Chain A
Amino acid sequence: MTIIYLITIFTMAVFLGFELITKVPATLHTPLMSGSNAISGITIVGAVGILLTGLSVGEAGVLPLILAALALFFATVNVVGGFVVSNRMLRKFRGKKQ
């Protein structure tokens, strides 16, 4: 994939992001933040990738493997924790309408 193609996608996504969230009520600031934060855990895809395609320990030593495992651990905490905590908050928001 050419770099121009990737930069185009990035630029479009940034503008899309601005368009999507220009007006967010203050009530939702925290859940929006923790929900979007969980989305930034998308690096989990990269972490899975490097662990699946990684070199054998002999060539690279153990260190890259440890780092890759740590990356996957961090990303998983970010994703699982982020979505669950947002859901907890939003359930409380919903509950008070009744």
Chain B
Amino acid sequence: MTDYQSLLTIKETVVALFYLISAVFFILGIRNLAKPKTAARGNTLGATGMLIAFLTAFLDFGVIIDVENEVIRSQFQYWYILLFAIAGGSIVGLWAALGVKMTGMPQMVAIFNGFGGGASLLVAGVFYLFAMIEGTGVLPLQVLIATAISGLIGAVTFSGSLIAYGKLQGVGFVPDKPVGFTGDLLLKMFLLLLLLFFGVLMILNPAATEWYWIIVFGGFLLGILLVIGIGGADMPVVISLLNSYSGLAAAATGFVLGNIVLIIAGALVGASGLILTAVMCRAMNRSLVNVLFGGFGGTPAKDSGEDIYEGRITSTTAEEVAMVLESAQRVAIVPGYGMAVARAATPVRLLTEALEKNDIEVVFGIHPVAGRMPGHMNVLLAEEHIPYDKLLDLDSINPTFPQTDVVIVLGANDVVNPKARDKESAISGMPILDVDKAKTVVVIKRSLSPGFAGIPNPLFAMDNTLMLFGDGKKATEEILKEYKEL
């Protein structure tokens, strides 16, 4: 005689243990991802945890121990759909991950975020639908609440990420500039409150499943409204926040299913995304509320800076820059989003190598919000195999600018704007790279147009600043050519 009740207990214990093991792998994975030496291992640990959780799900849901009828049966009712979805997802995931260029990384991360949110809202929704159709009709209150939350956060993550993707990828109909209109803050607040109200309606009347999809639809709208108002340079904040949301949506789905691995993994990701968001906000000296609801991106530049620039701009040539570089001992390169747009990372590396060959010390000053996602510049320079000990953050590089002979600012603007030190300016208090303290500053830029903050940059008009107007890639290549000919 087999004791089916104990078999069931054993199965449930084994399942719980395996889920716990995969949660431990996630914890170790994230811990290792946070250190340069162990980051690659951290990613592998995370992937291993995922594989364990995935396989455990088949034992959990696929093997049924029927105590009443004393049988063990497997349940793979829709195995063909399962196979199809997994194969399709793997192919698309691999194709996207292997095909993306490093310059396209921000939008890739954005869209993966969205897929995570979308999956969470669908899982919670279908679970809810099944429970209602099955006729049991009663779900515990906490499950209903979690379902509504999962639907809302998942929907905001999904549509918000798609808009972020559109902005970063430059999809035609999605404006890169922030879209704002009077009362959009009120509209967002109203929509959020309305959706919470719908959530209450859904919980009070669970049989009316359409409320769930209304919440999801409203969540899509809210996500669009939240991200459409965000301009380019605020993207790092939004991507980090959406990253956090995708975790929270997964955790909420965990509450729906009563599954601890979803809760733990989701909470970890939610927390890590929030920390990144805070780091990004601090790097701009702005609060999250300020970034999300208005802020400086919305107002068009009123001050073209003509009074600051008038007669004080020193335009230069690649040849002159090459000569300045020749007599330098220490050179700092400060890249910004412009380097990514111009795809200038390769000539930058070639120039670095040429300078180092002549025993000139070259370092890179990386601002935390340079680019369109956290760590954007680091990824681009890593692709060129520039050692990461040459990539200095604000605290390490700022004290060294007075001893630096030449700073090359390539496609960066607001992060080197001395105006941040003024109390009155729009970027007041934002930590900047103190490039103006170097002996000579070379700014490679297309024009004098203002950066994202929409304010003129007095750095361009300083006596020790040389402006090299032109495309970042071409200008760097010309400097390199001239330098080699000297």
Contact = CB atoms under 8 A, between A and B. Distances in A.
Interface of A: 1, 3, 6, 9-11, 13-18, 20-56, 59-60, 64-65, 67-97
A35 B35 CA distance: 13
Contacts of B273: 33, 36
15 contacts: A6-B263, A9-B263, A24-B275, A26-B375, A32-B276, A36-B247, A40-B249, A41-B115, A46-B256, A48-B82, A54-B130, A70-B118, A72-B85, A75-B115, A78-B119
Interface string B376-418: 1011001101111001010000000000000000000000000
Given A35-B33, A40-B269, A93-B36, A74 B119 contact: yes
A10 B253 CA distance: 12
Contact of B387 (A70, A90, A96): A96
A85 B108 contact: yes
Chain A at the B interface: mostly helix, strand, loop or mixed?
Answer: helix
Nearest to B371: A30
B386 A40 contact: no
Contacts, number: 399
Contact of B382 (A11, A48, A54, A96): A96
Chain B at the A interface: mostly helix, strand, loop or mixed?
Answer: helix
Contacts of A51: 77-78, 81-82, 85
A52 B77 contact: yes
Interface residues of B, number: 117
B14 to A, nearest CB: 15
B376 A30 contact: yes
Nearest to B121: A71
A78 B104 CA distance: 17
A40 B250 contact: yes
Shortest 10 CB-CB contacts between residues of A and residues of B? A76-B89, A17-B271, A29-B375, A80-B93, A81-B93, A29-B374, A13-B267, A71-B122, A30-B375, A84-B97
